[in-house]
Structure 1
Amino acid sequence: MTITVTVRRWLLGLLLICLVAAGLAGCTGLRTRAATGTQLVLSTIQDPKTFNYALNQEFPSIFLFCYRGLTREEGTTGKLQPDLAESWEISPDQRQVVFTLREGLQWSDGAPLTADDVVFTYRDVIFNPKIPAESQEALRIGPERQLPDVQKLDDRRIQFTLAEPFAPFLAATAGPPTDIVILPKHKLEQSVQTLDANGNPLFLSTWGTGTDPNEIVVNGPYQIAEYRPGERVIFRRNPYFWQKDTQGQPLPYVDRIVWQIAESTDTQLLAFRSGDLDAMGDVRPLRPEYFELLKREERRGRFTVYTGGEWSGTTFIAFNLNQAKNARGQSLVNPIKSRWFNHVAFRQAVAYGINRPRLINNIYRGISTTQNSPISVQSPYFLAPEAGLPVYDYDPAKAKQLLLSAGFQYNANNQLLDAEGNPVEFTLITNAGNKIREAMGSQIREDLAQIGIRVNFSPITFNTLITKTSDTRDWDCVLVGFTGGIEPHGGANLWMSNGSSHLFNLGPQPGQPPLTGWVVSDWEQEIDRLFNAGAREFDPAKRKPFYDQFQIVVQQQLPVIHLVNEIALMAVRDRVTGVKYNGLPSWGLWNVEELRVEE
């Protein structure tokens, strides 16, 4: 049998198309093999780091699909709603809160979900000093940073007693994407109580990504069915999920979710355009050039591009201000660089040296605005520049003036040197695969070169970035984002000095080697005071001045340099119905249990 050149080329082309499709998403085959039920295909650009909620520090994560909390933030208004708890009562002195769970709640293995699980989650896991649960920080109350007392009243009622009135309490009990989920006592209690040779709970190594998915017990709309590293996570419908629609039909509607792991946002785009993804931009807003392309293809591609206004998240660069030494007596940051980073004039000069209008025009195609505040624009506590928020509009001449006044100098080649003659040079990292951040990092390198600063830009894997910023702390400058929302205290973990996400000056953390010489600056202590005072006040009008001052302190001291406020953009196949999108939630498919797929 002979094959002509034309046929060979045709077969080779077909083979290449199949290989690319398999590499990009691998979803077409999965869609075909879904013998029964409906399926939603989504994507992320990094593998999960853990299946253990208390150890999670990443977004997005499997917990978006698998777990719920006592309360929930409605994604289009930001208002709190009942979730696992059907109601709550606050005492007249605002120091006691009693939650009543819904009747008949169950875990995905059929076991009853009761007040015992809630007490276990908060008292034994989240409040456990041996477990570095990031969400703990949102519930530390007052200058003494006391945690609430929690006790069971009966099988359905749980009482929290607070050291003092604490306005953000209810918001802190909301579930994903940002706050506390309820964990199964019957599956995890033994691992919390059993200690390893170093005195740490075995819980710290429980439910890693190598765990058999059948062992993971959940209370959300979906449970993990399969995980293939570097390829996909498959979720199946949780038959014991509590929620029903207005007609009494159990939720979720969609039977199965395939969460593809793509190597980049460009790969996601190719998969979406080929029909292998049902949504894009659900985790972070679409890149503007994607928006322009997809908007033209809406009708032909049978999808809708949703525009939700300004996104609630923040994007910034931060310098490593940590002056501590590790357990080996080594400085976390090169002492020469540390002196630069800890000089406020240096940070202000960098802020003036970044051409944010150019970022917006060239990278965002004009589809964004400058960002100046650590509080989301949708929040009633947001302080606008017109109301007194300091800003740093692009001004390289002012940047140079600040540097010279701070003792820096320039050589004949316009290279910036410090007072001892050391050339000013540092490394900027971000997560590889996020093309917007990679483009931003490249431009920041070019911008700062104009004021004599050499930036070595190095995109790295997301998990490596998390390890550097959260564990080893061996980094100079990082370009990252942070989720936002209505309640300012939702950012306490980043902004308060003892927060486990206080990345620009991360202190000692449970389960990590000790640090020596960790220093908390006066302005960090002032932020702590403002957050405590703001949390103590229930009247929004009286709370606002504290958060106004917090925003002013951040902009004066610039522990982070805010960059661009993205416009919320998301593309979803028309066969997916029930989407509610306006840019407020950090996850565009926040109501995933209500989505339908019409095949």
Structure 2
Amino acid sequence: MSYYKLLKIKIYTLMRHRWLVVLLTLITAMSTMGFAYAIIIYHQINLQIKVTPISQIVVTFPTEPTTFNPALILESADILSFTYEGLVKENSRGEIKPNLAKSWQISQDNKQVIYTLRKGLKWSDGKPITAEDVVFTYNEIYRNPDIPTYAKDFFLIGKNRTFPTVQKLDDLRVKFTLPEPFAPFIRATKLEILPAHIFEETVKIKDQEGRPKFMSTWGTDTPPENIIVNGPYTIESYTPSQRIVFRKNPYYWHKDAQGNSQPYIERVIGQIIPNQDTSLIQFRSGGLDYINVNTDYFSLLKHEEAKGKFTIYNGGLFIGSTALTFNLNKGSRNSQPLVDPIKSRWFNQAEFRQAIAYGIDRQQILNNIYKGLGKLQNSPIAVQSKYYFPIQAGLKVYEYNLQKAKELLLKVGFKYNNQGQLLDEQGNIVRFSLMTNTNNNILQSMGVIIKQNLSDLGITVDFNPVATSIFINKLTQTFDWECQLLDVAAAQEPNDWSNVWLPEAGWHFFNQASQAGQTPIMGRQIADWEQKIGDLYIQAASEPDEAKRKAMYAETQQITQEYLPFIYLVNPLSMVAVKNRMQGIQHSALIGTFWNSYDFKLTED
């Protein structure tokens, strides 16, 4: 048993029997030395057993983790903000700053980058962080074809999708050699560095199914002390469906201007609360120090801001959007089509998707659900980005217009029966399932409006909210869904979400390819427009001329709005409420609240 655990047991035992010990001591002292002297002894004992309170904050996580392996995390990615860091880091303005690497040098031909690590970096087990860890992370994990990590897609460069070569120069220097110039490369190296001394054997050993042992390493049943990190906090404990507790990493490198060790706050408790209403109740009752501000709650929380001793931080428009997407995959698995062929024919008609876009009253959604706190979204690229192609320049938009929607449907062979139901050319009633996350109140409310809007088009929508785990599993594993209502990213740097747009990438949700270790999909087809978007993303990433990059990304936005793989809906304001006792908050719509958790301090209420 560790010294720390033993100390906790001793303190707990002492506190549990505190009054018994004091009473026995007091009685003994009174019988031998007199009452007054006994009182002095009592106060001495009372002082000795006082325990200094640990500084801590309580936050909320909306989803349950399925792994603590940083290369494999999809759900509960917020964990990574506390536990892992990369070579570089984004600040609240989206600017790239040194992190584990103190500096980097780029060659004149933009094909070589040499990073220099900070001296004295350590993992949470005290082992040094060296160039060996960087080389291992990129060569053995991110580059490994048998490990389906999301990170891989960001480093496959050019038409040949070539991974950079990564070479150790010495203990503190690493050289990346790129097959061709790659404009977003430095930003991409913000991805997490993993410990070679922990994982090096796991990538070599295969299980019975031929998968690297790495894939099952650091599951949620792994003892927290075995999870080695390089971020500001370690994982102290995990209680399924309840909480994740983080403890200050004693080996974390970051220090303030006075040389004081950071983070300042000793412990972060992440309560797992899938339901937003429950989070609100706990925040208002003092059980949470932080909450995302759902627009349904904004007026209530704003009214209580002073009395409740908290501050609402508005980071501007969220770096993302809500969107509707149809499953365009024409493939089959185990001889079973992923999507009913009849419905697949509807979904794969651009005019059908355009009619759906015209048939959704986005302004009603913005007014009724978001209380006007946001804007309509029309692009996969964030409005904050220099690559955003504005409406004024000719970006196509879909304003609510039932007449135009019906004209489009009739034009491509749909028709209406006497009851006003929409039928396809073969007389099939147009009906499909719309799925969303049951733990997201906003999406559920939005689904109700969309269902009603489309019923005005004669379309029957079976609205089906499901648990988060089912929602994510269908989107990333089974692919057996028809239509999804979800939150999607809208990137400031387009390449940050290239894995959504490249046809073979891991997050190409609307027409997903099978990934490493998954049952193959047979008969999947890629549309010309779909391939064109992917090609443009590859070309733009390798183009050093900024004007040409902008033109390429402008073309991708025109294509996405013409063919609508995602029907973008509303981009809300990014708002959080934080108790005033937490200082150092620099909430950003671009990067969130906890990007600088090492700077947070606690003050007296």
Instruction: Tell me, yes or no, whether TM beats 0.5.
Output: yes
Q: Deviations over 1:10-46 (max 9, x none)?
A: xxxxxxxxxxxxxxxxxxxxxxx99532111100221
Q: 1:572 to 1:434 in 2, by over 3 A?
A: same
In structure 1, distance between residues paired with 2:586 and 2:464: 36
**Would you say 1:226 and 2:237 are equivalent positions?**
yes
**Would you say 1:164 and 2:175 are equivalent positions?**
no
Q: Which residue of 2 aligns with 1:424?
A: 430
Shift of 1:479: 1.2
Which structure 2 residues correspond to residues 179-578 of structure 1 after superposition, within 5 A?
180-281=191-292, 286-326=293-333, 328-578=334-584
Q: Which residue of 1 aligns with 2:10?
A: none
In structure 2, distance between residues paired with 1:526 and 1:190: 40
Q: Which residue of 2 aligns with 1:9?
A: none
**Would you say 1:588 and 2:605 are equivalent positions?**
no
- Contact 1:415–1:453, Cα closer than 8 Å, also in 2: yes
In structure 2, distance between residues paired with 1:189 and 1:421: 59
Give the residue type in structure 1 aligned to 2:533. Answer: I
In structure 2, distance between residues paired with 1:248 and 1:479: 48
- The counterpart of 1:37, out of the listed 45, 51, 54, is 54
Q: Which residue of 1 aligns with 2:71?
A: 54
- The counterpart of 1:597, out of the listed 575, 584, 602, is 602
Q: Which residue of 2 aligns with 1:71?
A: 88
SS at match of 2:59: strand
Q: Which residue of 2 aligns with 1:27?
A: none
Q: 1:35 to 1:472 in 2, by over 3 A?
A: farther
In structure 1, distance between residues paired with 2:51 and 2:305: 26
- Contact 1:489–1:531, Cα closer than 8 Å, also in 2: yes
- The counterpart of 1:136, out of the listed 143, 152, 167, is 152
Shift of 1:58: 2.9
SS at match of 2:337: coil
Give the residue type in structure 1 aligned to 2:160. Answer: E
Q: Which residue of 1 aligns with 2:129?
A: 113
Q: Deviations over 1:410-451 (max 9, x none)?
A: 111111111111111111111111101111111111111110
- Contact 1:48–1:61, Cα closer than 8 Å, also in 2: no
Shift of 1:482: 2.4
Q: Deviations over 1:85-144 (max 9, x none)?
A: 111111111111111111011000001111111111111001100000111101111111
Shift of 1:584: 2.1
Instruction: Give the gaps of 5 or more residues in structure 1.
Output: 1-32, 175-179
Shift of 1:485: 3.9
Q: Deviations over 1:192-238 (max 9, x none)?
A: 11011222101111111111111100000011111111111000000
Shift of 1:59: 5.0
Shift of 1:300: 0.4
Q: Which residue of 1 aligns with 2:115?
A: 99
Q: Deviations over 1:551-579 (max 9, x none)?
A: 00000000000000111211111000001
In structure 2, distance between residues paired with 1:464 and 1:520: 26
- Contact 1:373–1:551, Cα closer than 8 Å, also in 2: yes
In structure 1, distance between residues paired with 2:144 and 2:77: 24
- Contact 1:484–1:490, Cα closer than 8 Å, also in 2: no
Q: Deviations over 1:281-307 (max 9, x none)?
A: 1xxxx2222111110101100001112
SS at match of 1:52: coil
Give the residue type in structure 1 aligned to 2:84. Answer: Y
Q: Which residue of 1 aligns with 2:6?
A: none
- Contact 2:64–2:76, Cα closer than 8 Å, also in 1: no
**Would you say 1:85 and 2:92 are equivalent positions?**
no
Query: How many residue pairs were aligned?
Result: 555
- Contact 1:252–1:595, Cα closer than 8 Å, also in 2: yes
Q: Deviations over 1:378-426 (max 9, x none)?
A: 1100111111111001011111111111111111111111111111111
In structure 1, distance between residues paired with 2:234 and 2:289: 20
Q: Which residue of 2 aligns with 1:153?
A: 169
Q: Deviations over 1:497-530 (max 9, x none)?
A: 1110000001121111111111111011111121
SS at match of 1:194: coil
Larger radius of gyration: 2
- Contact 2:63–2:76, Cα closer than 8 Å, also in 1: no
- Contact 1:78–1:485, Cα closer than 8 Å, also in 2: no
In structure 2, distance between residues paired with 1:500 and 1:60: 16
Q: Which residue of 2 aligns with 1:24?
A: none
The percent of aligned pairs where both chains have the same amino acid is: 47
- Contact 2:124–2:229, Cα closer than 8 Å, also in 1: yes
Give the residue type in structure 2 aligned to 1:280. Answer: I
- Contact 1:49–1:463, Cα closer than 8 Å, also in 2: no
Q: Deviations over 1:334-384 (max 9, x none)?
A: 111111110100100110011001001110111111000100111100111
Give the residue type in structure 1 aligned to 2:596. Answer: N
- Contact 1:493–1:499, Cα closer than 8 Å, also in 2: yes
Give the residue type in structure 2 aligned to 1:203. Answer: F
In structure 2, distance between residues paired with 1:409 and 1:200: 50
Q: Which residue of 2 aligns with 1:14?
A: none
Shift of 1:163: 0.8
Give the residue type in structure 1 aligned to 2:95. Answer: K
Q: Deviations over 1:303-324 (max 9, x none)?
A: 0111222111122111000111
**Would you say 1:126 and 2:142 are equivalent positions?**
yes
- Contact 1:69–1:83, Cα closer than 8 Å, also in 2: yes
Shift of 1:82: 0.5
- Contact 2:65–2:76, Cα closer than 8 Å, also in 1: no
In structure 1, distance between residues paired with 2:396 and 2:155: 30
Instruction: Give the gaps of 5 or more residues in structure 2.
Output: 1-49
- Contact 2:117–2:130, Cα closer than 8 Å, also in 1: yes
Alignment TM-score, normalising by the size of structure 1: 0.91
Shift of 1:57: 2.0
In structure 2, distance between residues paired with 1:47 and 1:199: 28
